[in-house]
Amino acid sequence: MIANVLSIAGTDPSGGAGIMADLKTFGALGAYGMAAITAVVAQNTRGVTGFRVVEPDVLTAQIDAVFDDVRVDAVKIGMVATAEIATAIADALTRHGAKHVVLDPVMVAKSGDRLLAAEAVAAVRDRLLPLAEIITPNLPEAADLLGTEEPSGLAAAIEVAGELKALGPASVLLKGGHGGGPDSTDIYFDGDTLETFTAPRITTKNTHGTGCTLSAALAALLPTMPRLAAIARAKDYVTGAIAASDRLSVGHGHGPLNHFHEVWPAE
């Protein structure tokens, strides 16, 4: 089965993050990609220069148009931007009985620009987290959602994963990319199972859209394989995309991942 996967997120005209990265990832992993845009973002590898949020009724119409016509096998949620957008997404996905919902709580871009209004954090936490099969926050985003300090060390991160699970998602994948050390360790917790997924930390500035890509990979894979297998495959895919990013020459800041590293022939 070729899965039909919907991304609900913001744009990136430079192609490395947001909707553009999601659609590349879906295609690279054998899924059919669809998109509903939450915000039109002016950004490149150096940063965000501005964005315009789509009206909630326009976003709802986009989501309804897809579900009214297409079998949707999974949904990835990225940039939400405002509480009103979070509410519109939650209402639409509840109405349509969406399954395999992956929530990447995008709050701050790689450049440091904030993409979620501070007052919208509660709406994401209270309305969207309970709909998610899996959430994929990084360490700063986890702290934002919980209103605590960023965890330091594996033991503290495991505790935070448990606190995030208590907010209502079926499972949590707490990403370790912002941590230190030679390896990047992600922590999975679903209330019963605790697993860690570790990969070597790659020294590169090409990390633009890493979180978008991981969550999109999970959404592409969850309809066709068990959750833990999907996480392992998604992490391997992202690690390979980062390792092959130096084959690209895109921008002068944090460059994008090579989403098609498994498809394009090596030089």
25 a catalytic residue: no
110 a catalytic residue: no
Catalytic residue, candidates 45, 210, 213, 239: 210
pLDDT at 111: 60
Catalytic residue, candidates 76, 165, 175, 235: 175
Q: Is residue 209 part of a domain?
A: yes
207 a catalytic residue: yes
Q: Is residue 259 part of a domain?
A: no
Q: Is residue 255 part of a domain?
A: no
pLDDT band at 184 (very low <50, low <70, confident <90, very high): confident
Q: Is residue 117 part of a domain?
A: yes
pLDDT at 117: 73
Reported as a single tens digit per residue, the pLDDT across 194-239 is: 999 998 889 899 999 999 999 999 999 999 999 999 999 999 999 9
pLDDT band at 249 (very low <50, low <70, confident <90, very high): very high
181 a catalytic residue: no
Q: Can you tell me the distance from the alpha carbon of 241 to that of 211, in angstroms, rounded to the nearest whole number?
A: 12
Reported as a single tens digit per residue, the pLDDT across 67-97 is: 999 999 999 999 998 999 999 999 999 999 9
pLDDT at 118: 74
Q: Which of 97, 38, 103 lies closest to 73 in space, CA to CA?
A: 97
In three-state form (DSSP H/G/I as H, E/B as E, the rest C), the secondary structure along the chain is: CCCEEEEEEECCCCCCCHHHHHHHHHHHCCCEEEEEEEEEEEEECCEEEEEEECCHHHHHHHHHHHHCCCCCCEEEECCCCCHHHHHHHHHHHHHHCCCCEEECCCCECCCCCECCCHHHHHHHHHHHHHHCCEECCCHHHHHHHHCCCCCCCHHHHHHHHHHHHCCCCCCEEECCCCCCCCEEEEEEECCCCEEEEEEECCCCCCCECHHHHHHHHHHHHCCCCCHHHHHHHHHHHHHHHHHCHHHCCCCCCCCECCCCCCCCCCC
Q: Can you tell me the distance from the alpha carbon of 234 to that of 254, in angstroms, rounded to the nearest whole number?
A: 21
> The domain containing residue 88 runs over which residues?
4-247
CATH of the domain at 234: 3.40.1190.20
Q: Is residue 266 part of a domain?
A: no
Mean pLDDT over 147-153 rounds to 87
210 a catalytic residue: yes
Reported as a single tens digit per residue, the pLDDT across 94-134 is: 999 999 999 999 876 656 666 677 778 899 999 999 999 99
pLDDT at 247: 94
pLDDT at 267: 67
Mean pLDDT over 160-186 rounds to 88
Q: Which residue, chain included where needed, has tokens 């220069």?
A: 49
Catalytic residue, candidates 110, 209, 213, 255: 209
pLDDT band at 151 (very low <50, low <70, confident <90, very high): confident
pLDDT at 180: 61
Tell which wins on pLDDT, 118 or 158.
158
Is residue 31 pLDDT above 80, yes or no?
Answer: yes
pLDDT band at 25 (very low <50, low <70, confident <90, very high): very high
Catalytic residue, candidates 11, 76, 212, 239: 212
Q: Is residue 265 part of a domain?
A: no
pLDDT at 112: 61
Catalytic residue, candidates 15, 176, 211, 255: 211
Handedness of CA 203, 204, 205, 207 (dihedral sign): negative
Tell which wins on pLDDT, 1 or 187.
187
Reported as a single tens digit per residue, the pLDDT across 45-66 is: 999 999 999 999 999 999 999 9
pLDDT at 110: 59
Catalytic residue, candidates 38, 136, 207, 239: 207
Q: Is residue 256 part of a domain?
A: no
Is residue 181 pLDDT above 80, yes or no?
Answer: no
pLDDT at 178: 59
pLDDT at 182: 73
How many domains, in total, are found in the chain? 1
Q: Is residue 80 part of a domain?
A: yes
